[in-house]
Amino acid sequence: MDSSGLEAVFLANRDTLLRFLRSLGAGDASEDLLHELWVRTQVAPTGPIAAPLSYLYRMANNLMLDRHRAVRQAEKRDRDWVAATGGSSPDRSEAPSAERVVIAREQAALAEAALQAVGDRAARIFRRHRIDGIEQRVVAAEFGVSLSTVEADLRKAYRAMIDAKRRHDEG
C-alpha cells in the first residue's frame, strides 16, 4: 500500500484512532497527536504496508510513548532546575516564611521612616517616580517644580534609602 492508500485508511479511521489515543491517556493532546500522526503518514515510506490500520495504531502508540518520555524528561528537568536554583516547587508553598515576612515588614518600616526624614515633597516625588513609574519631567510638572528640584529630591531620597539599608544590614 502506498502513502495515498495509507492516507485513505487514516481518513476512514480518524475517529477510531482519536478514541485510541484518548484511551492511552492523551486527553487534551489527542487532537495534536492525531495531527502529528497525519503528518507522519505524509512522509511514511511509500513501500507496501500489509496491514495499514495496524501500522497506524503502532504509529499512534509510538507517538504516545514519545509524548510520555518527553513529559517525564520535562518534569525531571523542572525538578532539577528547582533543586539547583532553590526556586519554587509544586510540593512547596510559594508563600514566604514567617521570618521573611517579619524581615520584610522591618525593612518597609525603615524605608518609610527614611522617606519621612527627607520631607514630605521628596518622599512623594520618590514614590511617584520609583513606585508609580512616572517620568521625572511629568513628576516635575505635577508638583509644579523644576526638573532639577525633582532630581535633587530624588537624590535625597535615594541617599536616605541607602543609609537605611546600610543600618538594617549592620543591625
User: Residue 13 pLDDT > 80, yes or no?
Assistant: yes
Q: Cell 535615594 belongs to which residue?
A: 158
The upper half-sphere exposure of residue 41, i.e. CA atoms within 13 Å in the direction of its Cβ, equals: 26
8 A C-beta contact, residue 7 and residue 57: no
- Give tens-digit pLDDT for 17-55: 999 999 988 888 889 999 999 988 888 766 788 899 999
- Give tens-digit pLDDT for 51-103: 999 999 999 999 999 988 998 999 999 888 888 877 655 566 677 788 888 98
The model scores a pTM over 0.95: no
User: What number of other Cβ atoms are within 10 A of residue 64's Cβ?
Assistant: 19
Estimate to the nearest angstrom the gap between the alpha carbon of 117 and the chain centroid: 40
pLDDT of 91 reads 61
Residue 40 CA to residue 150 CA, distance in Å, equals 64
User: Residue 113 pLDDT > 70, yes or no?
Assistant: yes
SS3 102: helix
